[in-house]
Structure 1
Amino acid sequence: MGAVKSKRMPRAVREQQMLDAAVRTFGQRGYMAASMDEIAELAGVSKPLVYLYLNSKEDLFTACIRREARALTEAVRAGVRPGLAADRQLWDGLGAFFTHTGRNPDAWSVLHLQARTHGERFAAEAAAMREEIVAFVTELIVVAAREAHRDPDLAEGEVAGLAVALVGAAESLATWANATPGVTARQAAATLMNFAWAGLGNLMEGRPWSAPVMSDELSASGAVDVVHGA
């Protein structure tokens, strides 16, 4: 009798195996330094098979960005339970974000560092993920405003700006947390809540921070008063 042939691995499973190897390689070595040879070796396949499945290094990197972006956004959304208080929803969302980025540092490197610095095609993929998360955070801020004021009067542009600032802070903090031994997802989330929620809470309660009046603004105001005979 001939040797029994091993069961052939389904294409979808094999492709995910290649993507796993690619994310690890791109995340640790960077897009430019990573080679298809080492990705194929890490995946346990031949280089021609990687090209057959994923066409080129550029297409492989794009597939990695899309997969990891989808995984991150799904993790954040799954971490938030609708119906809870707005601060609890934000806390849960941040916890899910930092837990995911902490458990997948190579994927976060691909999304936050590599994708943004190696061409418009890759940057656009990362930007699409960021826009989705910003939109989600915007929803949470609107919920918070509704809780504080039944008819929220926060300007649309201000809400959008707050969401962008919060997401930007979370991204930077995730990179710092991954590079700093001992920082947990819970600690990172608590740091950002302490930084952001106190300010958001004051804003929702009608106590926004007011910028100090500068000397040139006072001069301009005085000139206007003179013109109008004040």
Structure 2
Amino acid sequence: MPREVRERQMLDAAVVAFARHGYQAASMDDIAEAAGVSKPLVYLYLKSKEDLFMACVRREVGALVAAVREGTRERELTADQQLWRGLTAFFAHTAARPDGVAVLYRARTQGEPFAREVAAMRVEIVTIVTALLGQAAQDAGCGELAEREVSGLAHALVGAAESLAEWANSRSCASADSSSAKDTAATLMNFCWAGLENLMTGRPWMAPGH
């Protein structure tokens, strides 16, 4: 069997084990058995449990970012349509690969260098969203919308998407079909876009006394 096929089997088994049991409790014996290989072969390919976990994190990071980029690649669409498609791709991916998403959540609490990989992924997704929000403001003729506001909104939206994905996956009726992903994306668009539209039309929310 080609090395890349065996390695993919190992990573598939490891993602399930790490997602369900955590980094410390996941057993290399169980991972090897689930992958249909010997434990020495796992160590031959991936050196150590730490390296195996890092390989899982990097694979899931790459897959999630690629899904978002694919969802936002149609530049002829308006910025809000690109954002909606990007969110739909994000929620479809997180619903289809809940164990992969769980590994990324666990990586945040495992310290360096795992947390750094997840942080870099978040920066990349925030950058995509920031560009789309900035383009939306420009298209609306609202060039004066502060860079700080656009950046803050992008961070808030990505954080909300992560939380909403966790919520959607925790529901007993959660599924990976496209209609569920679109519904979840529409929920977030309804939450964020109305507020953004108010900002772009000069009707921001004002704190009492301001």
TM range (shorter): over 0.9
Q: Could you tell me the percent identity over the aligned residues?
A: 65
Q: C-alpha deviations, 1:131-151, integer Å up to 9, x for none?
A: 1000000011011011101x6
Counterpart check, 1:169 vs 2:165? no
Where does residue 203 of structure 2 map in the other structure?
207
- After TM superposition, the structure 1 = structure 2 runs for residues 122-133 of structure 1, keeping only pairs within 5 Å, are 122-133=114-125
Aligned to 2:193: 197
Q: In structure 1, give the amino acid aligned to 2:204.
A: P
Alignment TM-score, normalising by the size of structure 1: 0.86
List aligned pairs for 1:95-110, cutoff 5 A.
95-110=88-103
> CA offset at residue 187 of structure 1?
2.0
Deviations 1:15-71 (A, max 9, x none): 111111111111122212111111111110011111111111111111111111100
Instruction: Find the counterpart in structure 2 of residue 62 from structure 1.
Output: 54
Matched with 2:177 is none
Q: Does 1:77 align with 2:73?
A: no
Deviation at 1:181, TM superposition (A): 2.2
Task: Give the equivalent residue in structure 2 for 1:40.
Answer: 32
- Give structure 1 regions of 4+ aligned residues with deviation exceeding 6 angstroms: none
Using the alignment, how far apart are the partners of 1:136 and 1:209 within structure 2? 25
Amino acid at match of 2:22: G
The DSSP-based 3-state class of the residue aligned with 2:24 is coil
* Partner-residue secondary structure (3-state), 2:37: coil
Determine helix, strand or coil for the equivalent of 1:31.
helix
Residue type of the alignment partner of 2:65:
T
State the partner residue of 1:178: 169
Unaligned runs of 5+ in 2: 175-179
For residues 46-100 of structure 1, give each alpha carbon's deviation from its aligned partner in whole angstroms, at most 9, with x where no partner exists. Answer: 1111111111111111111111110001011111221211111111010000000
Q: Deviations over 1:193-223 (max 9, x none)?
A: 1110111111112211111128xxxxxxxxx
- Alpha-carbon RMSD across the aligned residues, in angstroms, is 1.2
Indicate which of 129, 140, 152 corresponds to 1:148.
140
Which runs of 5 or more structure 1 residues have no equivalent in the other structure?
1-8, 215-230
Larger Rg: 1
Inter-partner Cα distance in structure 1 for 2:83 and 2:36:
41
Matched, 1:157 2:148: yes
The residue type paired with residue 129 of structure 1 is: M
* Partner Cα separation in structure 1 for residue 152 and residue 29 of structure 2: 44
Q: Which amino acid aligns with 1:100?
A: H
Alignment-mate amino acid for residue 192 of structure 1: L
2:91 is equivalent to residue 90 of structure 1: no
The CA deviation at 1:120 is: 2.3
The letter for the 1-side match of 2:150 is V
